[in-house]
Amino acid sequence: MSQNALRLVWIYPDLLSTYGDQGNVLVVERRARQRGIEVARVDVRSDEPIPTSGDIYLIGGGEDRPQRLAAERLRRDGGLNRAASNGAIIFSVCAGYQILGHEFVNDLGKREPGLGLLDVVSVRGEGSRCVGDVLADIDPRLGLPPLTGFENHQGITRLGATARPFAQVRFGNGNGTEDGTEGAYQETVFGTYMHGPVMARNPHIADLLLRLALDVSTLPPVDDRWYEALREERIAAATETAS
């Protein structure tokens, strides 16, 4: 493997891959290789140290207890924070998204410190779970098409002053707040509640991460027919259900 290969790190697949979020790793890896970009992928289990020299880090969703265990180990390890300080790209989903914030409510009903990489705080909603398809408009600054995904959570995440909403919900719940936001990002750290896995429905997000990691404004085009067919089918089905 070349030393110039793109370093892709999948964090804690043994704890945080409950809802198929490992598919995000496969999509990022495939879209890089389709463009002739060599990829060195590392899957880091929860009993292993987080490497600090990665280019793109992905962290998925999970149940409440594994989420607490993951947060404890990531705080103790410190590698992901050091990687962020080095300018690494980090993309997180659901439980992983909450872990990147300042705090969330754990399986014991207590406030659990997060990593503080996103200026967000998550609490547990008192109503029913947020379950179902979501359609949202991604922040125009990122230049991406609408976000489609599937949410399954009871969290409510509020953004602080330095975090931007990743998207604005057309239908669905997203962050579960009155302002209709979904996810958050600041600098090179991103979070969303979208499963799906989200990259399979939104391959342009994978491309965004690749562009940021490679420090380029564009990438060579690839065949998106399969992805676009999936996107159109899911958006149409969700729109019909929501109407």
What pLDDT was estimated at residue 18?
80
- Tell me what pLDDT residue 20 has: 86
Tokens matching residue 235: 């958006």
pLDDT tens, 137-190? 999 999 999 999 999 999 999 999 999 999 999 999 999 999 999 999 999 999
Rounded Cα distance between 20 and 228, Å, is 20
**Whole-number Å distance between alpha carbons of 146 and 116:** 27
Residues making up the chain, counted from first to last: 243
Question: What single letter denotes the amino acid at residue 5?
Answer: A
Tokens of 41: 């992928």
Closest CA to 11 of 63, 70, 55: 70
Pairing of strands 56-59, 89-93: parallel
pLDDT bin (cut points 50, 70, 90) of residue 128 is confident
Question: In this model, does residue 206 exceed pLDDT 90?
Answer: yes
Out of 2-16, 35-49, 53-67, 112-126, which region has the weakest mean confidence (pLDDT)? Answer: 2-16
Confidence of residue 4 (pLDDT cuts 50, 70, 90): confident
| Position 3 confidence tier, pLDDT thresholds 50, 70, 90 | low
pLDDT confidence bin for 2, thresholds 50/70/90:
low
Query: Does the structure show a pLDDT above 80 at 39?
Result: yes
Task: Give this prediction's pTM.
Answer: 0.96
What is the share, in percent, of the chain residues with pLDDT greater than 70?
Answer: 98
Residue, of 140 and 2, whose pLDDT is higher: 140
Segment 239-243 long-range contacts (CB within 8 Å, at least 24 positions apart): 239/135, 239/171, 241/132, 241/133, 242/133, 242/135, 242/171, 242/172
Q: Is the pLDDT of residue 127 over 80?
A: no
Count other Cβ atoms within 10 Å, centred on residue 110: 9
Query: pLDDT: is 242 or 203 the higher one?
Result: 203
Which stretches of 35-93 are DSSP H helices?
A: 64-77, 79-85
pLDDT band at 40; cut points 50, 70, 90: very high
Of 19-23, 116-120, 136-140, 210-214, the poorest mean pLDDT is in 19-23
**Can you tell me the distance from the alpha carbon of 32 to that of 235, in angstroms, rounded to the nearest whole number?**
25
pLDDT at 196: 81
Looking at the structure, give the CATH architecture of the domain made up of residues 6-242: 3-Layer(aba) Sandwich (3.40)
DSSP H/E element including 52: none
- For residue 242, name the pLDDT band (cuts at 50, 70, 90): confident
For the chain, what is the mean pLDDT? 94
Q: Is the pLDDT of residue 63 over 90?
A: yes
